[in-house]
Amino acid sequence: MSEQPKKEQLYELIRANPFIAQQDLASQLGLSRSAVANYIATLVRERRILGRAYVLPDRRPILCIGAAVLDRKLRTLDKLALATSNPATQSESFGGVARNIAENLARLGAPAALITAVGMDASGRALLAHAEDAGIDTRGTLHLDSVGSGTYTAVLDRDGEMVVALADMACNEHLTPGFIASRQQQRLGAALVVADLNLPLETVAALVEDSAREGIPLVLVAVSEPKMARLPAQLPGLRLLILNEGELGVRVGRPLGSLDAIAAACAEVQRQGVQDLIVTRGAVGVLYTSPAGLQSLGAPRAAVVDVTGAGDAFAAAVCWSLHAGELDLGVACRRGLQLSAMTVACAQTVCLDIEPGLLDGPVNQFNETVLD
């Protein structure tokens, strides 16, 4: 049998010792330091390692369950005036919380899969073709011949801030517990499951129960205040809940007018079974739970072009970190803020500049405080 190629020998040495120095690799393989660096760069591009200290990826996928829709954005040219016609520009792209998270993950180099529902129409075919081109496994998709694919129409002011959004998500009502059960093997093969609250209440409850029983970490991502009604009363075993301040207030049934009130609300939801919460606060930053109490991170400055998709990018970076074995939720949130800032600064729902290796380096140090 012929000797393994040098690149494969180098890969096996890294597998045995992820902290091995490049000079030691060069000495053991009889290569120059520059040749070792070139082989390592090739392995990173091939997504077989994720950067120093040569993190070896878990190739079990992150399974995203929820909405995939056609996004329509209408942006006014001048200050928005209600109850009258406003000159505007229109664009279309692919969206949906679960789909957006899956595309961000795929662009970051993580193995991503998507379970969603689409109609047997041009929009559905385009959604799946785009997802597959991005490297997302869509084999678990539910195809419906009696319901159209979902749509999301956002009205933005001239500064890119969302004024109102209208969503037709009827197709997601067909993602029932029975259908999700039919994809059990796919769920059991996942390293992490992330679901949005476009799913029916009964389906979300089934996912929470499955997570507690099977030990597969589950992340739930809120999508709006009205859809907080789809979050079960008890959440035993839920790894993480990502939501904004208004959605948290809906969950606990009271307005949250101070940081102390938010901390108390997080503690209340944790008593319902959630291990951790992240509360997003737009340009202010995020709050997240920790053993030391509720932590606050300020958001980096960003030139806002379009805020659509920023929250999904944040959630994707957090999930990417959990999948990579990151135990510090603060590090995951810093990565989320980094990806969110990139997203608001571009016109696309998912930033086209996202690529493998983007989050491998040191995380940015944002202002952090302990609130309780």
46 C-beta neighbours (distance < 10 Å), count: 12
Q: In b/e form, how buried is each residue of 217-231, taking b as 16+ CB within 10 angstroms?
A: bbbbbbbbeebbebb
pLDDT tens readout for residues 62-119:
999 999 999 888 999 999 999 999 999 998 889 999 999 999 999 999 999 999 999 9
pLDDT tens readout for residues 313-369:
999 999 999 999 999 999 999 999 999 999 999 988 899 999 999 998 777 655 555
d(CA 340, CA 307): 9
Which conformational region is residue 332 in: left (phi greater than 0), alpha (psi within -120 to 50 degrees), or beta? alpha
Residue 19 has a pLDDT of: 67
| pLDDT at position 10 over 60 | yes
pTM > 0.85: yes or no:
no
